[in-house]
Amino acid sequence: MFEKKIGEDPEKDEELSRRRRKVDLTIGIALLAIALVGASLAQSISLSPNDRVEFGQGAVTLKACDSFISISLNPSAATFSGFTNAGQPYSNASRVKSIQFSGLDTKACAGRSIKVQLYPDNSTTPLSLFEDSASTTSDRAVLVIDPDKTLDRAVVISLENGLGQNVGRTDSYQSLSYNVVSAMYTLEFSSPLALMSDVSRVGIETYKS
């Protein structure tokens, strides 16, 4: 009986090598997927009504009203100058221009409000977020979700100003828009105040409206 050893048939050797690489690649992808799932779970935070949670700056997924939402901070153009929270002067810097919310289930959160505040490192005092009415500043953004579950997602959320007054979906200082394609809400400030580099934590609180 004739037997051919490995190395004597280049074509079969190459095929065997390709199969081994494919197996290694499959294992590598599986391990990467497990790592990514682990990272996502590490960012998930349970949020109960009237509870408050804080997490680091950036896009973070958390649970609110039995639904998972993602919150991210978006910078303005680097055109602002002023003083940091520590009192140091800065120029040509970005402030928090808008906050984006995706995955928000307005039916599950019907009749509730979501308050967002930004905090510097090692401080329990929130940063001023935007210039508000009557030459005041506001250190919070509040989304008010209507209790009527039949309302369209584009109109079901309104805003509160720093005085706790409902101003609808837009006024001269803040505005809320909804993208039907991405199902994302964007809260934008006309005159943002919070320096992006000052933000260390984001505080979220839900409560009955």
Of residues 47, 75, 70, 46, the one with CA closest to residue 60: 70
- The beta strands (E) that lie in the chain are given as 46-47, 52-56, 60-64, 67-75, 80-83, 89-93, 96-102, 112-119, 130-131, 137-138, 141-145, 157-160, 166-168, 174-179, 184-189, 201-208
Are residues 10 and 104 part of one domain?
no
Q: How many domains does the chain have?
A: 2
1-38 burial: b if 16+ Cβ within 10 Å, else e? eeeeeeeeeeeeeeeeeeeeeeeeeeeeeeeeeeeeee
Are residues 165 and 93 part of one domain?
yes
- Terminal Cα-to-Cα distance of the chain (whole angstroms): 85
Domain extent at residue 188: 46-208
**CA distance linking residue 169 with residue 161, whole number of Å:** 11
Are residues 83 and 156 part of one domain?
yes
Are residues 193 and 133 part of one domain?
yes
Are residues 109 and 26 part of one domain?
no
pLDDT, one tens digit per residue, over 39-75 is 332 233 333 344 455 555 444 555 557 667 788 899 9
Do 44 and 61 meet the contact criterion of CB atoms below 8 Å apart?
A: yes
pLDDT, one tens digit per residue, over 102-155 is 888 899 889 999 999 999 988 889 999 999 988 899 999 999 999 999 999 999
Reported pTM: 0.72
Are residues 8 and 27 part of one domain?
yes
**CA distance linking residue 110 with residue 50, whole number of Å:** 14
Are residues 72 and 95 part of one domain?
yes
